[in-house]
Amino acid sequence: MHLTDTHCHLDYNKFDSDRAEVIQRANDAGLVRLLVPGLHHRSSKEAVRLAESNPSVYAAVGFHPTDLEEFSENTFQEVKELASHPKVVAIGEIGIDYYWVKESGKRAFQRDALKQQLAFAKEIDKPVVIHMREENDAWFGEASVDLMKILEEWQSSLQGQLAEKPGVLHSFNGNLETAQKALAINFYIGVTGPVTYKNAEDKREIIRQLPLDKILIETDSPFLAPVPFRGKRNEPAFVHHIADKIAEIHSKSPAEIAAITTANAAQLFAWGD
Ligand SMILES: [Zn+2]
Structural domains present in the chain: 3-269 (3.20.20.140)
**CA distance linking residue 168 with residue 186, whole number of Å:** 9
Residue 26 C-alpha to ligand 1 middle, in angstroms? Answer: 18
Residue 197 C-alpha to ligand 1 middle, in angstroms? Answer: 19
Residue 55 C-alpha to ligand 1 middle, in angstroms? Answer: 21
Residue 6 C-alpha to ligand 1 middle, in angstroms? Answer: 10
Residue 37 C-alpha to ligand 1 middle, in angstroms? Answer: 7
Please give the pLDDT value at position 206: 97
**CA distance linking residue 132 with residue 174, whole number of Å:** 8
pTM: 0.98
Task: Write the DSSP symbol of residue 252.
Answer: -
Please give the pLDDT value at position 272: 84
Please give the pLDDT value at position 1: 86
Please give the pLDDT value at position 273: 66
Residue 72 C-alpha to ligand 1 middle, in angstroms? Answer: 21
Is the alpha carbon torsion for 228, 220, 148, 262 positive or negative?
Answer: negative
Residue 7 C-alpha to ligand 1 middle, in angstroms? Answer: 6
- CB 209, CB 257: distance < 8 Å: no
Beta-strand relationship, 215-217 and 3-5 = unpaired
Q: Extract the residue ranges of the chain whose pLDDT is less than 50.
A: none
Residue 228 C-alpha to ligand 1 middle, in angstroms? Answer: 21
Residue 169 C-alpha to ligand 1 middle, in angstroms? Answer: 11
Residue 130 C-alpha to ligand 1 middle, in angstroms? Answer: 9
Residue 170 C-alpha to ligand 1 middle, in angstroms? Answer: 8
Half-sphere exposure of 137 (CA within 13 A, CB side): 1
Residue 139 C-alpha to ligand 1 middle, in angstroms? Answer: 18
Residue 175 C-alpha to ligand 1 middle, in angstroms? Answer: 19
**CA distance linking residue 27 with residue 22, whole number of Å:** 9
Q: How do residues 212-245 score in pLDDT, each as one tens digit?
A: 999 999 999 999 999 999 999 999 999 999 999 9
Residue 104 C-alpha to ligand 1 middle, in angstroms? Answer: 23
Distances in Å between the Cα of 86 and the Cα atoms of 1, 124, 246 are 26, 12, 32
Residue 35 C-alpha to ligand 1 middle, in angstroms? Answer: 10
Backbone conformation region of residue 224, classed left if phi is above 0, alpha if psi is from -120 to 50, else beta? left
Please give the pLDDT value at position 97: 98
Please give the pLDDT value at position 86: 97
Residue 40 C-alpha to ligand 1 middle, in angstroms? Answer: 12
Residue 149 C-alpha to ligand 1 middle, in angstroms? Answer: 22
